[in-house]
Structure 1
Amino acid sequence: MQDQQAELEWRDGDVPVSTRFDDPYFSLENGLAETRHVFLGGNDLPARFRDGFHVAELGFGTGLNFLTALQAWRAADVSGTFHFTSFEAFPMDPDQIARALSVFPDLPVEALGLSDGGPFGDTTRGSDYTLRVMIGDARATLPQWDSQADAWFLDGFSPAKNPELWEESLMRQVGQHTAPGGTAATYTAAGFVRRGLQAAGFEVDRVPGYGRKRHMTRARKT
């Protein structure tokens, strides 16, 4: 199914940390609150939700961002279907995902289909959503993607430790796969990331980050 598995260790009980990139999969402080602040708030969600709304993501990780977005979609009581596509090079084992998400009991974890091997491979479909996780280096898989996103969650590991997922050529692909008026958000405010998004056709703003992170980045396709 996949060539390379995630390499991780556990800290503070059930917080997974990538040993390959020496970076946690979500905030050690409050991963759920950070996801809501950065990726939902940073993309003006749930206000923009509509039937067929499509979120794309760099870095699926534990699936926390998808589940948080799906929960917000359902809470907003939007009719129709929510679409989510994620690009992941080093997928976690379903048992590892289940352990990581056990600290968020209110999320709709069943949407990941972990008991059936997780959302890796074919598109996972529910009554109100579709989820597709494309396995492999995003620099190779994103150019092959035949859709456009209304919003991007840019959630790779730290740019200092995983620069490949933030390079300008990949941000250009993000821009090309963004619908007119679409948005992107990320926890990082690194200058080269912001410049890459600008070169890809986005209007970029640096705004307050979550917790101890002073700034994050919001972008809108012009």
Structure 2
Amino acid sequence: MADHDPENTPPGETVLDWHEGDMPYSRAFDDHFYCRSDGRLECGHVFLSGNDLPRRWQRPGPFRIAELGFGTGLNLCETWRQWRETAPGDASLFFTSFERFPMARADIDRALAHWPQIDRERAALTEKWPDAPQGRVEIDLEPNVHLTVVCGAALDSLHQEEAPFDTWYLDGFAPSRNPDMWSAELMAEVCRLTAADGRFATYAAAGFVRRNLTAAGFTVERRPGFAGKREMLCGGKPAS
């Protein structure tokens, strides 16, 4: 979920504390990986509903989702759960996440075990997760569902991408903790890699994030946030 290299954190290493038993907390960024009330429901409210999913994937062929910040894999697992329940049989899901500090298998398993609703997805992800993730991790989770995790600094990684995505989950650590993950340059790359009529959603609502998204070329909408948070942002890339 992080982009820049915090002081005293070796590249590629995630330094965690655990709050309330199974909630991971990044010491490097002084922030939780998801909201403390219910991260799975937050994913549904912000990233799926904010991107008008599952309605938009009711079509044949590939549907491509990109994410800034893989973290525990919670957004993947909840998206995959809803995909399994709602997607047409002739559709395929390609989920690509950009993560500088990939977590260890045991930490992913510990965090995701909090939600029995995604036990199936958690088990499949952790079974196939590499012991030492680096470079470009490619995992076939099941027929027609493929995960790519690009390990490294987000901006550098996005510069290497060419194929556009239908949907973006912008889920770095809070803008106040990790402003590099919400920079104008990074948002411009996100917009470049968004298909015409593609969408984004994020829990963040800071003014500079909204301005950077608008300057990149997105239309931006404010909506009520999750669990009492006043606002979140979502929007799209115009077709022309």
Q: Taking structure 2 as the reference length, what is the TM-score of the superposition?
A: 0.88
Matched letter for residue 5 of structure 1: E
Q: Does the CA-based 8 Å contact 2:67-2:169 persist in structure 1? A: yes
Matched letter for residue 64 of structure 2: H
What secondary structure sits across from 2:191 in the alignment?
A: helix
1:88-99 correspondence to structure 2 within 5 Å:
88-99=99-110
Runs (5+) with no aligned partner, structure 1: none
**Is 2:29 aligned against 1:21?**
yes
**Is 2:48 aligned against 1:40?**
yes
What secondary structure sits across from 1:122 in the alignment?
A: strand
Pair 119,78 (structure 1): closer, same or farther in 2 beyond 3 Å? farther
The 10-residue stretch of structure 1 (130-139 or 69-78) with the greater mean CA deviation from structure 2 = 69-78
Q: Does the CA-based 8 Å contact 2:62-2:94 persist in structure 1? A: yes
1:50-69 correspondence to structure 2 within 5 Å:
50=59, 51-69=61-79
Pair 186,119 (structure 1): closer, same or farther in 2 beyond 3 Å? farther
Q: Deviations over 1:171-191 (max 9, x none)?
A: 000000000000000001111
Matched letter for residue 198 of structure 1: T
Runs (5+) with no aligned partner, structure 2: 1-9
What is the CA–CA distance in structure 1 between the aligned matches of 2:235 and 2:229, rounded to whole Å?
18
Q: Deviations over 1:146-188 (max 9, x none)?
A: 2211000000000000001000000000000000000000001
What is the CA–CA distance in structure 1 between the aligned matches of 2:115 and 2:163, rounded to whole Å?
31
Aligned equivalent of 1:136 = 152
The 10-residue stretch of structure 1 (138-147 or 118-127) with the greater mean CA deviation from structure 2 = 118-127
Q: Does the CA-based 8 Å contact 1:5-1:93 persist in structure 2? A: no
Which of 71, 75, 94 does residue 81 from structure 2 map onto?
Answer: 71
Q: Does the CA-based 8 Å contact 1:119-1:132 persist in structure 2? A: no
The 10-residue stretch of structure 1 (113-122 or 52-61) with the greater mean CA deviation from structure 2 = 113-122
Percent identity of the aligned residues?
Answer: 43
Which of 219, 222, 230 does residue 206 from structure 1 map onto?
Answer: 222
Shift of 1:128: 2.3
Aligned equivalent of 1:172 = 188
Shift of 1:63: 0.4
Matched letter for residue 68 of structure 2: L
Pair 118,209 (structure 1): closer, same or farther in 2 beyond 3 Å? farther
Pair 90,122 (structure 1): closer, same or farther in 2 beyond 3 Å? closer
Shift of 1:62: 0.3
Q: Does the CA-based 8 Å contact 1:54-1:83 persist in structure 2? A: yes
RMSD of the alignment, in Å? 1.6
**Is 2:202 aligned against 1:189?**
no
> What is the total number of aligned residue pairs between the two structures?
221
What secondary structure sits across from 2:159 in the alignment?
A: helix
What secondary structure sits across from 1:70 in the alignment?
A: helix
In the TM superposition, structure 1's runs of 4+ consecutive aligned residues that sit over 3 Å from their partners are 113-116, 118-122
Aligned equivalent of 1:110 = 123
What is the CA–CA distance in structure 2 between the aligned matches of 1:36 and 1:116, rounded to whole Å?
24
Shift of 1:58: 0.2
Shift of 1:7: 1.1
What secondary structure sits across from 1:62 in the alignment?
A: coil
Q: Taking structure 1 as the reference length, what is the TM-score of the superposition?
A: 0.95
Q: Does the CA-based 8 Å contact 1:119-1:133 persist in structure 2? A: no
Q: Deviations over 1:80-132 (max 9, x none)?
A: 21010000011111100000001112211133244552694431112120100
What secondary structure sits across from 1:48 in the alignment?
A: helix
